[in-house]
Amino acid sequence: MSRYNAKATEAKWQKIWTDAKIFKTDSTSTKPKYYVLEMFPYPSGRIHMGHVRNYTLGDVVARFRRANGYEVLHPMGWDAFGMPAENAAMERKVHPADWTYDNIANMRDQLKQVGLAIDWDREFATCDADYYGKEQQIFIDFYNAGLIYRKESWVNWDPVDNTVLANEQVIDGRGWRSGAVVERRKLSQWFLKITDFAEELLEGLGTLDRWPDKVRLMQENWIGRSEGLKFTFEISETGESLPVYTTRPDTLFGASFCAIAADHPLAAKLAEDNADLKAFIEDCRKTGTTEEAIEKAEKKGFDTGLTVKHPCDPDWKLPIYVANFVLMDYGTGAIFACPAGDQRDLDFARKYDLPVLPVVLPEGEDPASYTIGDEAYTGPGKMFNSRFLDGMETMAAKAEMIDRAEKEGWGERTINYRLRDWGVSRQRYWGTPIPFVHCDDCGVVPVPAEELPVKLPEDVSFDRPGNPLEHHPTWKHTKCPTCGGKAVRETDTMDTFVDSSWYFLRFVTPESDQPFDGDVVDQWLPVNQYIGGVEHAILHLLYARFFTRALNHVGRTQVKEPFEGLFTQGMVNHVTYKDAEGQWVFPEMVRSREDGSFFRSDNGLDVTEGRIEKMSKSKKNVVDPDDIIDQYGADTARWFVLSDSPPERDLLWTEAGIEGAWRFTQRVFRMVDAPSAAVAAVGAAVPESLSDSALALRKATHKTIVDITADIEALHFNKAVARLYEYANAIGAKVEGDGAAEVMREALETLVMLVSPMMPHLAEELWQKLGHKTLVAETPWPKAIVALTVDNTVKMAVQVNGKVRDTIEVAKDMPKDEVEKIALASEKVDRSLDGLTVRKVIVVPGRIVNIVAN
């Protein structure tokens, strides 16, 4: 029996593709353009099965579009800056650049073994000076356009990574990379004005109909547009104003107290001669600045002793507290609290024994007895205890209160956004230097274009904590571009999410002296199909959308949305194992006994099977792609990650699954290498007259072309795989008679072409075995003959007294009496009647024949 040698075959075809530059993109081509891109990887040193799945999904799309006549752009690069490289430098005593470029080399070799149809001539890393120098140009463009500013602000500080984190990078109150509890510090920071584009970004979501609904909703919620009331309280004791913003002006008559942020100017003023308040403010700063961190922290307050006058009743006074759950950078940094309608306010009111007055009555409740317990009521209802609002629905009451505030002059209708400006300053070495200098006479001055890139110094030391650029003896000392006097370079580097916010533009013209050639980018963008993890829904995807619009704003491109279609793939999971000592165990070290129990192969310790979880080095439930490719070949790995579940869902990696994929790989090879029937010569025409078995196979061929084409276009790869299993069965059925050899060639050639996006090496090998001198990678996608995809016959169930006894196939337009004759002539039907007399035959055309007998 013939056997496919994956290892030798895959290396051979990879070399042929590379030498012939098959996948090099020609931007001058007149073909329709198609840009497919997967989120580029961080060069950690090794690829994992998640990489294999992600890049295989994109590769299928790229190969399919290429076969369908498109000029395809499918590039690869490296998101190479960031803290892991600095950590490696400290731990391993190596330079971050050496660690990074070594990892890139390793991962490039691994990815090439997967057989990806990538234009490697466009490859770059974000730590290349050529790339980050262009990023510095963009940064200065944004600065000149007023989209970048510098100010002192409270920031999230990661005490382990010793750097600032954006709100989006704080997860459950901890740094997204280090896991350290985030603190609050006040630093001078560079900010990008993403809030200037809040409404645009929100409206743009409505045009992204090829994005997952959940991603659009996540971005909509993060931008957080709200319409409310901005008004001013008068401080009773001083007559000063205290501006407040609220989205629930309908609940003003349920107000119990006012609260200001610990960073509010009023709090700072009061703390000047109040040591207790000063200490309280310092305590508040131990909590991060994110809403999530504030939400989870214990609610604490400090009574200032001041009060404000209620805007609807000057005799009604509310106490002012400094509270740790109020954010200075949302709204005005001051709120009024209605404890009955907000859980944070309620928790605070209960703790400090403040009034809780319900003002929204749920349907079916009695206003005379309704009270609030441990949970605030945030649902709909009618207003009560609210004077002129009583009886109104909440939405009507909200509008009425805003109208009254504007009419009486104490407030105005205001649109607000949850989105905050993007702080991009990071206190670390391994990142893009911010291209500005600080001059005592001229202030903050951008570096001239001719002096870009501002390169990172290579001679840095990580022996001291903090940013090596800050204590570098020479690099930071320079001359002011304006006056020529002494100046100091900006030592902060950019958030790495800046690097990934425009890389897809650079791929289009990677050799350009500018960040990109706008005219060429406008031809290729938006990216037709973008693929990556849903975990980037807010961070990367929102930033990339903002960056593209900002680049449009400064005139570098006509494009506004970067990604036309977005697909978010699921994770690759594997069962976890622990031994008797509680240590995680790699799957390849687990052996089973006859009784079904497990043990470690190295020391014999009993092993317990745990939960199925995302593949993780820490839990050792990983499978090394190199091992899989070495044992089964890249095509088998590709086939498995495409076949086992819908690509948007998590994939469970199992030995049985990869073995099954391997068996199918071998089966397809044997079907071509040793076909079950005669195969006509290359180019042989299929005759008009065909035997029944040959016609059946030909119809199956052209129906499968239609189905697989639709499945791949819809990214339903697992469905395509299932159909190919069925099609292989059809080819394996007995085919004989007129046209059998010609139809068999057509079927085998079609099978090879249809599997080629998924198993490209195998397809090339089989295409050659079928006698072709060309490459599958350069062969057009098969076209279906429509007439052969239309069924002229239909299968009908035959029932006897309500029980199905047989299935018959008849012409679609066959008269009922003819259908009845064929049904009654069935041997299975005749046996089931067994002497019974047929009383009635009911024929439902195209569906069923029901025979009634007794």
- For residue 313, the domain's CATH number is 3.90.740.10
Q: Looking at per-residue confidence, does 91 or 116 come out higher?
A: 116
Distances (CA, A) of 542 to 36, 303, 535: 19, 39, 12
Rounded distance, CA 754 to CA 14, Å?
19
Q: How far apart are alpha carbons 367 and 377 in whole angstroms?
A: 14
Provide the 3-class DSSP secondary structure of residue 843: strand
CATH number, position 798: 3.10.20.590
Instruction: Pick the last residue of a domain from 768, 789, 810.
Output: 789
Q: What tokens does 854 get?
A: 């007794």
Interval 501-529: pLDDT, tens: 999 999 999 999 999 999 999 999 999 99
**Residue-averaged pLDDT of the chain:** 93
CA distances, 371 to each of 337, 368, 375, 376, 586 (Å): 17, 9, 10, 10, 57
Q: In 3D, which of 202, 229, 241 has the Cα closest to residue 218?
A: 202
By three-state DSSP, how is residue 705 classified? helix
Asked if residue 483 belongs to a domain, the reply is no
Q: Please report the pLDDT score of residue 81 as a whole number.
A: 95
φ/ψ of 234, rounded to 5, equals: -100, 125
Residues 615/50, Cβ–Cβ less than 8 Å? yes
Same domain, 399 and 255: yes
Residue 408 lies in a domain: yes
Q: What are phi and psi of 219, to 5 degrees?
A: -70, -40
Collapsing DSSP states into helix, strand and coil, what is residue 432? coil
> What is the mean predicted confidence (pLDDT) over 408-428?
92
**Stretch 753-774: mean pLDDT, rounded?**
97
CB 233 within 8 A of CB 308: yes
Alpha-carbon radius of gyration of the chain: 34
Rounded Cα distance, 611 and 590, in Å? 15
Give the mean pLDDT of 440-462: 95
In a domain? residue 387: yes
Beta carbons within 8 Å of 550's beta carbon, 6+ residues apart = 142, 145, 147, 192, 197
Taking 80 as the threshold, does the pLDDT of residue 365 lie above it? Answer: yes
- Reply yes or no on whether the pLDDT at 297 is more than 80: no
Assigned domain for 70 exists: no
Give the pLDDT score at 651: 85
Q: Amino acid identity of 13?
A: W
Query: Residue 405: pLDDT above 70?
Result: yes
What's residue 389's pLDDT?
97
Q: Rounded CA gap, 497 and 165, in Å?
A: 11
Q: What pTM does this model have?
A: 0.86
Total domains in the fold of the chain = 3
Edge-to-edge strand list for the sheet holding 71-73: 71-73, 33-38, 529-532, 566-568
DSSP 181: B
Task: Using pLDDT thresholds of 50, 70 and 90, give the confidence band for residue 168.
Answer: low
Which runs of consecutive H residues, i.e. helices, occur in 32-95? 49-67, 83-92
Closest alpha carbon to 531 in 82, 59, 34: 59
**Does residue 162 surpass a pLDDT of 90?**
no
Same domain assignment for residues 737 and 800: no
Backbone angles phi, psi at 830, to 5 degrees: -60, -40
816 shares a domain with 721: no
Do 799 and 838 lie in one domain? The reply is yes
**Token pair belonging to 738:** 């007129």
Query: 720 pLDDT exceeds 70?
Result: yes
Q: Do 740 and 829 belong to one domain?
A: no
**Domain termination residue (choose one: 789, 810, 844):** 789
Token output for 699? 């119809």
**Among 118, 137, 144, 102, CA closest to 58:** 118
Residue-number span of the structural domain to which 847 is assigned: 793-853
- 702 with 725, same domain: the answer is yes
Q: Is there a single domain that holds both residue 781 and residue 843?
A: no
**pLDDT computed for residue 676 by the predictor:** 84
Q: What is the pLDDT of residues 429-438, one digit of tens each?
A: 999 999 999 9
- Could you give the 3-state DSSP secondary structure of residue 56? helix
Residue 593 belongs to a domain: no
Answer whether residue 281 is part of any domain.
yes
Q: Reply yes or no on whether the pLDDT at 167 is more than 80.
A: no
In a domain, 292, yes or no: yes
Residues 721 and 756 in one domain: yes
Buried b / exposed e along 122-135 (16+ C-beta atoms within 10 A) = bbbbbbbeebbbbb
Predicted confidence (pLDDT) per residue in 5-32, tens digit: 999 999 999 999 999 999 999 999 999 9
Residues 264 and 386 reside in one and the same domain? yes
Domain annotation covers residue 350: yes
Q: How far apart are CA 389 and CA 312, in angstroms?
A: 12
- 394 touches 295 (CB < 8 A): no
Same domain, 263 and 353: yes
Rank 126-130, 183-187, 289-293 by mean pLDDT and report only the highest.
126-130
Predicted pLDDT of residue 619: 87
pLDDT for 291 equals 64
Q: Do 279 and 391 have their domain in common?
A: yes
CA–CA separation, 617 and 761 (whole Å): 30
Choosing from 417, 433, 467, the residue where a domain stops is 417
Q: What is the pLDDT of residue 131?
A: 98
Residues 811 and 739 in one domain: no
Pick the closest to residue 715 from 204, 211, 116 (CA basis). 211
Question: What are the residues whose beta carbons fall under 8 Å from the beta carbon of 634, sequence distance 6 or more?
Answer: 6, 10, 113, 114, 115, 761
Phi and psi at residue 766, to the nearest 5°: -75, -35
Tokens read off for 136: 């510095």
Report which residue type is found at 468: P
Question: Cis peptide before 526, with omega less than 30 degrees from 0?
Answer: yes
Query: Around Cβ 47, how many Cβ atoms within 10 Å?
Result: 23
Q: Give dist(CA 707, CA 705) in Å, integer.
A: 6
pLDDT score for 493: 96
Cα 623 from Cα 618, distance rounded (Å): 13
